[in-house]
Amino acid sequence: MRIGMGYDVHKLTEGRDLVLGGVKIPYERGLLGHSDADVLLHAVMDALLGAAALGDIGKHFPDTEPAYAGISSLRLLAHVGKLLEESGYAVGNIDATVIAQKPKLAPYREQMEENIAETLGIRKDQVCVKATTEEGMGFTGRGEGMAAQAIALLQEKT
């Protein structure tokens, strides 16, 4: 078994869609980034890549590459899934937390879990997405941005 940890953060800005876990969430601002800036999926991908010792998302999807401009992070996650498959790993489970003061994410968590599971070809009960606030403290508490943390367990295929 191998364990990986991922962390990502993006600034909130006007004129962008808010996409988390592949779900477009109604909100007055979205996350700033080269791709769709899906902070949750970026943390998940880094956890998976780290567990397999395959680097990070910056190595595989550099923000200097025009092909990744505005791309759905679900497409990037699918590519990470293929890399894991090629390297002989299967996902055991993924546990992730989005850190954001607003909006409330509970209504979207199940769809986020389904999107991650379907994209990676695993069962939904292998994915847990949680959300928390920072009680008004720090950049996430002030609503300046969002962060996400993820842990992934990989198993070698037999």
Contact call for residues 69 and 34 (beta carbons, < 8 A): yes
- Is 109 assigned a ligand-binding role in the annotation? no
Give the DSSP H or E segment for 15.
Answer: none
- Is 36 assigned a ligand-binding role in the annotation? no
Give the DSSP H or E segment for 85.
Answer: helix 73-86
- Is 9 assigned a ligand-binding role in the annotation? yes
- Is 139 assigned a ligand-binding role in the annotation? yes
- Is 25 assigned a ligand-binding role in the annotation? no
- Is 123 assigned a ligand-binding role in the annotation? no
- CA–CA gap between residue 8 and residue 94 (Å, rounded): 15
- Is 107 assigned a ligand-binding role in the annotation? no
Q: What is the DSSP string of 42-54?
A: HHHHHHHHHHTT-
- Is 79 assigned a ligand-binding role in the annotation? no
- Is 4 assigned a ligand-binding role in the annotation? no
- Is 75 assigned a ligand-binding role in the annotation? no
- Is 21 assigned a ligand-binding role in the annotation? no
- Is 156 assigned a ligand-binding role in the annotation? no
- CA–CA gap between residue 124 and residue 121 (Å, rounded): 9
- Is 28 assigned a ligand-binding role in the annotation? no
- CA–CA gap between residue 33 and residue 154 (Å, rounded): 28
- Is 58 assigned a ligand-binding role in the annotation? yes
- Is 158 assigned a ligand-binding role in the annotation? no
- Is 133 assigned a ligand-binding role in the annotation? yes
- Is 121 assigned a ligand-binding role in the annotation? no
Binding residues for a divalent metal cation: 8, 10, 42
Query: Which residues contribute to the annotated binding site?
Result: 8-10, 34-35, 42, 56-58, 61-65, 132-135, 139, 142
